[in-house]
């Protein structure tokens, strides 16, 4: 599976409006470089393949935290099974 770039991850973070609101309430100050990357990430449009890759990565990462027996193979298999049902 292809590595996800920092800019792509920042794109996902930038889409989280509650996080932005919390950041403003807390008065968090970010560096100019982070702000520049966030602005760039907001304009990224994912391809369907990138969205699927991110979905699987999210599923793997969050599941692996609670279940050490999860593998990429099991995540990919489950994703393919869900795709076949559609």
pLDDT tens for 45-82 read 989 999 899 999 999 998 988 888 989 999 999 999 98
d(CA 30, CA 35): 7
d(CA 58, CA 53): 9
- Phi and psi torsions of 42, nearest 5°: -60, -25
Number of domains in the chain: 2
| One domain for residues 3 and 30 | yes
Domain of residue 10, residue span: 1-45
| One domain for residues 40 and 61 | no
| One domain for residues 57 and 81 | yes
Q: How far apart are the first and last CA of the chain?
A: 23
| One domain for residues 51 and 72 | yes
What are 13-54's pLDDT values in tens digits? Answer: 556 655 555 566 555 666 788 888 888 988 989 899 998 999
| One domain for residues 68 and 37 | no
| One domain for residues 40 and 53 | no
């Amino acid at each position: 599976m292809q590595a996800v770039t920092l800019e792509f991850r920042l794109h996902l973070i930038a889409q989280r409006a509650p996080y932005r609101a919390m950041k403003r309430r807390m008065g968090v100050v970010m560096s100019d470089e982070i702000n520049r990357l966030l602005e760039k990430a907001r304009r990224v449009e994912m391809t369907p393949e990138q969205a699927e890759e991110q979905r699987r990565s999210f599923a793997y990462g969050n599941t692996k935290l609670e279940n050490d027996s999860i593998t990429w193979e099991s995540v990919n298999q489950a994703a393919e099974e869900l795709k076949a049902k559609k």
